Chain A
Amino acid sequence: MSRLDDALREALRREEPPEGFAGRVMARIEARKERAGAWDGLMAAWRGPRLRWAGALAGAVLLIGTAAYQETQRAEGEQAKRQVMLALRITGAKLDLARARIQRVGYGLGDR
């Protein structure tokens, strides 16, 4: 035989794996299967109608809640605005009344 044949035989000769190698490989395969199982389960549940409905419901509640909050804020703001205008109108009217009474008795603020 040639030297090349010898070298090939040497390189490709059967070698026994270290002790516990097969067990470790099998354990890693199992662990990967478990992780994939949990994720697949979640995805499957999402694809299921119950969780999809729950998600849609939560979204709708959030949307309605935000809209209701904004509406409450708007209503309070409008109410505050009306009160500001009312208060200033009353103040203006009373200041005018004071001015008119002063002028009536003859020493108006307008004279100053």
Chain B
Amino acid sequence: MRIAIVVLAATLGTAWAQDIKMPPAFDKLAAKAEESVDVTLDSGMLQLGGKFLSDKDADEAKAKKLIGGLKGIYVRSFEFAKEGEYSAADVDALRSQLQPPVWSRVVGVTSKKGGEITEVYFKTSNGAQIGGLVVIDAEPKELTVVSISGAISPEDLADLGGQFGIPKVELPKSKGKEAK
């Protein structure tokens, strides 16, 4: 009985720390994928990595500042040789955890033509900061999920795009449709 309680507490503890639990089906997707990325950084690993980030390098200094308030970063990315290697149920298993009032979907773009789904969720927080972030990018031959747990300031979030060696994407604004 005691062992069961300890195991349950440990499981709940891990789940709580990670906030979002990556669906077990993702492990099987890694075997099917041509290329896969699996990054699991809990608070301890983030602290350790932070010690090795240089203040002199601009990207590393920004990363160091950003991870200061984080509890974990989890990334799963799969690139498949052909379409249909993952199912909608795989994504739904993750999406079902991102429910209001804790989570809010701030971005949801679905392209039926291209078969692309991009969703960004924020974890609600009492202060001026975001309590967590989940990005889902599902394409016919690619699936990427990013889960960031912990406090992120809007400035840091803005810094994330167009930083870390990635050129900022600035497309000309479409004049045909109104902003939502």
Task: State the A residues within 8 Å of B (CB).
Answer: 74, 76-78, 80-81, 83-112
Question: How many Å lie between the Cα of A97 and that of B162 in the bound state?
Answer: 10
A-B pairs with beta carbons under 8 A, tally: 133
Q: When A80-B46, A91-B135, A106-B177 are in contact, do A99 and B161 touch as well, CB less than 8 Å?
A: yes
Cβ–Cβ contact A94 & B48, under 8 A: no
Q: A81-B52, A94-B135 are in contact. List 17 more A-B contacts (CB 8 A).
A: A80-B46, A80-B49, A83-B45, A83-B49, A86-B75, A88-B164, A90-B39, A91-B146, A91-B148, A91-B160, A102-B109, A104-B171, A106-B176, A106-B177, A106-B178, A110-B173, A111-B173
Among A78, A99, A101, A108, the residue within 8 A (CB) of B52 is A78
Q: Which residue of B lies closest to A95 (CB)?
A: B161
Cβ–Cβ contact B179 & A84, under 8 A: no
Cβ–Cβ contact B75 & A77, under 8 A: no
Cβ–Cβ contact B37 & A88, under 8 A: no
Report, as a range, how many residues of chain B touch the other chain: 35 or more
Q: Which residue of B lies closest to A93 (CB)?
A: B166
For the complex, is B116 an interface residue (Cβ under 8 Å from A)? yes
Stretch with Cβ within 8 A of A (4 or more), from B2-10, B27-35, B59-67? B59-67
Q: Cβ of A78: which chain B residues have Cβ within 8 Å of it?
A: 52
Q: When A105-B177, A106-B174 are in contact, do A86 and B37 touch as well, CB less than 8 Å?
A: yes
Annotate B106-119 by CB proximity to A: 1 below 8 A, 0 otherwise.
01010100001010
Q: Which residue of A lies closest to B72 (CB)?
A: A87
CB distance from A28 to the nearest CB of B (A): 62
Q: When A84-B50, A101-B111, A107-B177 are in contact, do A92 and B37 touch as well, CB less than 8 Å?
A: no
